[in-house]
């Protein structure tokens, strides 16, 4: 069992019932996703996400003393994965402390669209686990959160590890390779394909063809070099190649237009959600005439009928790192995002 940090409990916590909060960011799809060799040279499904700060899920959990640990209610309704995560986290935390588990009330808020491939369910699950742990006075390590998230979802994005570029085995909840401290600097013009409609992730087939392992291991080496050298152009080549391979499953009608726009405005490449409709065009912030290129890109997307969403960066700054919220995490300075009800599909234009 991985160690956890315990925070001091207020003296009146037991008398008034214990509450906790947690937060988790989202991502903007993947830079790379496919099949790779693990440390034992076994083929393993893995991915590298494109982190996106400023949005995410916030969870609040309040103990219901004397109830069964399975008695967890969730607001809003329908967040079954988060509810499962709460039950698992209650049992994990109570076992660590040697205390009697109990159920509680889970409340989720956030501003993530569902089904576009931005990790909305994982964000819910991680925020939930952090809130439950916070209510027990614990700060669980990322490895434990990943294990619980995979049990709750069946697969998980690496959001519990923050924004570092990681090759992550999403079905096993473990890091295959830490690629470095940050992705190369990039400006991402976000958009939504497929009419911004949600994608049923669980219904997508898993296609692995002859030669895929060789191709993805080559892209892994390229991405490793891109991170080491802060090479945005190489990052774009990797993400575009991975997106092309994924079109065997997703078959986005707009994908040729997306890559054509990227070429016409001198972008580094494109990236997509490998299990959704969110996509982005990547620019090197150091190229001449960046603002002009971004304006041309926005106009071209509009002409093609592709909904643009927001423009963001991969720049590593103190405020772009993920800092969990909650009493256990006092002292963090992560800016508070809006807590609005979950929308069903469309991202707001920015």
Q: Is 166 exposed, middle or buried (0-12, 13-18, 19+ CB in 10 A)?
A: buried
Query: Could you read off the pLDDT tens digit of each residue along the chain, which spans 350 residues?
Result: 456 665 554 444 443 458 999 999 999 999 999 999 999 999 999 999 999 877 899 999 999 999 999 999 999 998 999 999 999 999 999 999 999 999 999 999 987 777 677 888 999 999 999 999 999 999 999 999 999 999 999 999 999 999 899 999 999 999 999 999 999 999 999 999 986 454 555 455 555 666 899 999 999 999 999 999 999 999 999 999 999 999 888 788 999 999 999 999 999 999 999 888 899 999 999 999 999 999 999 999 999 999 898 899 987 544 433 333 344 433 333 333 333 333 333 333 33
Ranges of each domain in the chain: 5-329
Q: pTM of this prediction?
A: 0.82
Q: Is 3 exposed, middle or buried (0-12, 13-18, 19+ CB in 10 A)?
A: exposed
Question: What fold is seen in the domain 5-329?
Answer: Ribosomal Protein S5; domain 2 (3.30.230)
State CA 268 to chain mean position distance.
22
State CA 85 to chain mean position distance.
16
pLDDT confidence of residue 160:
95
Contacts of 326 (CB under 8 A, 6+ apart): 20, 21, 22, 23, 130, 131, 134
């Amino acid at each position: 069992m991985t160690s956890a940090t315990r925070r001091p409990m207020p003296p009146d916590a037991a008398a008034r019932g214990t509450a906790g909060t947690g937060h988790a960011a989202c991502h903007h799809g993947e830079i790379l996703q496919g099949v790779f060799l693990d440390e034992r040279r076994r083929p393993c499904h893995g991915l590298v996400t494109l982190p996106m700060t400023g949005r995410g899920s916030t969870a609040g959990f309040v103990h219901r003393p004397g109830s069964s640990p399975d008695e967890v209610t969730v607001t809003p309704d329908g967040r079954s994965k988060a509810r499962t995560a709460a039950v698992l986290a209650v049992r994990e935390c109570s076992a660590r402390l040697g205390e009697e588990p109990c159920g509680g009330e889970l409340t989720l808020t956030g501003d993530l669209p569902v089904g576009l491939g931005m990790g909305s369910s994982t964000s819910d699950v991680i925020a939930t686990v952090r809130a439950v742990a916070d209510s027990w006075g614990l700060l669980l390590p990322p490895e434990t959160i990943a294990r619980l998230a995979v049990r709750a979802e069946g697969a998980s994005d690496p959001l519990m590890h923050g924004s570092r570029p990681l090759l992550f085995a999403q079905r096993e909840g473990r890091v295959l390779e830490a690629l470095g401290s940050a992705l190369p600097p990039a400006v991402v013009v976000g958009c939504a394909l497929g009419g911004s409609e949600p994608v049923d992730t669980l219904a997508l087939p898993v296609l692995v063809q002859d030669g895929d392992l060789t191709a993805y291991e080559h892209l892994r080496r390229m991405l490793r070099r891109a991170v080491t050298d802060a090479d945005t152009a190489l990052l774009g080549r990797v993400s575009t190649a991975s997106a092309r391979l994924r079109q065997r499953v997703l078959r986005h009608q707009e994908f040729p237009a997306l890559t054509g726009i990227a070429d016409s405005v001198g972008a580094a490449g494109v990236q997509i959600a490998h299990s959704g409709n969110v996509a982005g065009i990547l620019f090197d912030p150091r190229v001449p005439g960046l603002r002009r290129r971004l304006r041309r890109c926005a106009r071209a997307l509009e002409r093609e009928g592709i909904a643009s969403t927001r423009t963001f960066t991969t720049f590593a700054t103190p405020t772009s790192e993920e800092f969990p919220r909650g009493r256990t995490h006092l002292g963090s300075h992560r800016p508070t995002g809006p807590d609005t009800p979950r929308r069903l599909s469309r991202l707001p234009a920015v």
